[in-house]
Chains A and B, each alone.
Chain A
């Protein structure tokens, strides 16, 4: 059953076989698998239990409900906005439902003898089947993605349709604010009902304060139930034989640090990857209304390759359509006043493209105050160059598609109207000169072969505690270079199977 702050008003001590902290892709999948295997499972979720009626399609209402720090979380130097979600379903509530499998070359590059493609692939196949992953149909391409494809095809670049986990989609276009039409085949819709039917207990509005541990064992989890105004209204103490951390690549290391779990090599929270992206917007003569329809259904992979060596070594940018509702778009556009207003009047004619880099830059996650996140991450020169390349190629695609002009939202806005201007344009990505957004944090509690160089073993078990597991995007030893959604669902199933 699902419990919320409405009934969690008294302190309680509870006992379960497994306590899972976080109900996103990794935690939700683990809860699904373990509860169906007969384990008594508790799931702790910091956010609320939202149902279709709650997804109001209003930015100012949904940002605080769906994102940590109302979507305002940034890296220490404020150069990169880091979005990650909470709520029963975690980031699967707000993500755009793209399903791209973990690239084979990336898994091979990890060189983990006990975690290889042969072992992981069945979990990817299983979760795709559970979530009904299918290719987006031609008739579901919105005007923005059609323009994108037109440009890619005209230039002869490599591109293709994406696969999604949605069913009954009406194309309202409000995916990132949660689906009011209940068309997302996500944790909330698919896995939570089955986990609850199998006996899982889900505690929403509840913050995991610390993992209790002694010797080489985790003993349980201390939790606080939060009232609507954020004050603590009750405390839960959950004793469990196994504890699984699945709060995502920002919250999981923070929880481990708060808990003081043994970390002799100071690895937890280091090696963070963000898969950051920048946006360029084409301005077309005709209405595009990029906020309507499925926001991202086509991709350009001309500049993304996972092969090592040769000419492909330098291709690390994935280009995809973007979309934003008015407040989000207004925040991304440079300047203010008249200039900004004129740009916003073009809003219906924008077709934005986002370029995300398969980042080699890495950073750290540390505590900021009691529950805040100090994310220290700076893009290195190589990654900045990749993003600049992404911006330039995005503009080329948009111009080829018929854009009247392309806007780069640098602090000093840059506009190009043709290839010659693009050729001459000084496009460079530097911190705080263009908005960089990261929605795919990964790798902060990564798996590896030994306790000296990795946080968990290849089963996801924490190297220093025998019954503490990690089951989220923290586990990846490197950036995946693609959205981690479907990989993280599969990781949840995989980790659950490792627990004996």
Chain B
């Protein structure tokens, strides 16, 4: 069975199982209602994953910045191809429903406590190879959002960019801007 068929089949199955079980859905955070590319539910699943992936065993976040940078994760998801977004969506459905068949918890992923969420993610990480890419994709999104936040650089000894990133043209840009067609410059 190829990967795509597996994901589609498993997503359909877990939807069915999920619909048959009464599970309390946590309330959506305000940040998740502002998303452009992710649904509120997807935002909630990724926020929970971010917290589990980036906090330590005691649940302490890695730095003082509060909350998951779900807006940035949303932007990153927006830059993926439509197909990749579809696969990620299916994967998030699977993750949300997976505690039942993966860890024996009668609950959604987002309703688990932090330790259980970490356990669940670890099962995805080390489980069958067909499921590992989902963990990898979520991990990459979370770490990309986490380690591009300047507040997180000091703890790892990274000094950040050498340029301001303001996007203001300097003498270096002049020869390039001269190549533009009329009307291109604001």
Contact = CB atoms under 8 A, between A and B. Distances in A.
Asked if chains A and B come from one complex, the reply is: yes
Given A74-B133, A78-B133, A369-B82, A411 B125 contact: yes
Interface stretch (A125-133, A303-311, A333-341, A352-360): A333-341
A194 B50 CA distance: 48
Nearest to B174: A51
Given A326-B156, A345-B155, A369 B176 contact: no
A2 B136 contact: no
B53 A336 contact: yes
Contacts of A53: 166-170, 172-173
Interface stretch (A55-63, A145-153, A237-245, A477-485): A55-63
A196 B179 CA distance: 7
Nearest to B158: A326
Contacts of A63: 79, 144
A411 B156 CA distance: 22
B56 A369 contact: no
Most buried by A among B158, B169, B182: B158
A327 B144 contact: yes
B167 A56 contact: yes
Nearest to B180: A2
Contacts of B146: 327, 330
A371 B81 contact: yes
A423 interface: no
Most buried by A among B53, B155, B156: B156
Interface string A287-319: 101010000000000000000000000000000
A412 B126 contact: yes
Interface in B40-63: 52-57, 62
A38 interface: no
A336 B121 contact: yes
A368 interface: yes
Contacts of A344: 147, 155-156
Contact of A2 (B147, B148, B179): B179
B183 interface: yes
Contact of A78 (B3, B121, B184): B3
A326 B152 CA distance: 10
Interface string A358-388: 0000000000111110000000000000000
Contacts of A345: 155-157
Contacts of A155: none
A335 B57 CA distance: 13
A284 B83 CA distance: 41
A6 B183 contact: yes
B20 interface: no
B145 to A, nearest CB: 7
A435 B125 CA distance: 13
A348 B156 contact: yes
A446 interface: no
A181 interface: yes
Contacts of B54: 336-337
Interface string B130-155: 00110011011001111110001101
A313 to B, nearest CB: 31
Contact of B162 (A52, A72, A172, A368): A172
Contacts of A49: 176, 180
Contacts of B163: 55-57, 180
Interface in A420-448: 431-433, 435
A341 B180 contact: no
A52 B166 CA distance: 11
Contacts of A193: 175, 179
A258 interface: no
B3 A77 contact: yes
B148 A59 contact: yes
Nearest to A4: B184
Nearest to B177: A51
A4 B180 contact: yes
A433 B129 CA distance: 8
B173 A411 contact: no
A194 B163 CA distance: 28
A469 interface: no
A336 B139 contact: yes
B83 A372 contact: yes
Given A6-B183, A72-B84, A51 B147 contact: no
A174 interface: yes
A52 B172 contact: yes
Contact of B184 (A7, A56, A347): A7
A371 B84 CA distance: 12
A72 B140 contact: yes
Interface in B18-72: 52-57, 62, 72
B108 interface: no
A182 B172 contact: yes
Nearest to B36: A229
A336 B118 CA distance: 9
B170 A347 contact: no
A3 B173 contact: no
B121 to A, nearest CB: 7
B36 to A, nearest CB: 10
A331 B144 contact: yes
B144 A58 contact: no
Contact of A3 (B57, B83, B158, B181): B181
5 contacts: A1-B181, A58-B161, A60-B72, A70-B76, A372-B82
Interface of B: 3, 52-57, 62, 72, 75-76, 79-84, 118, 121, 125-126, 129, 132-133, 136-137, 139-140, 143-148, 152-153, 155-158, 160-163, 165-170, 172-173, 175-177, 179-184
Given A4-B184, A78-B136, A330-B147, 18 more contacts: A1-B179, A7-B182, A7-B184, A49-B180, A51-B172, A52-B173, A57-B161, A60-B76, A69-B80, A69-B81, A70-B76, A188-B176, A327-B144, A337-B52, A337-B56, A344-B147, A345-B156, A431-B129
Q: Which 10 A-B pairs have the closest CB atoms?
A: A57-B161, A78-B133, A56-B165, A64-B79, A326-B147, A330-B143, A348-B157, A70-B79, A51-B176, A1-B181
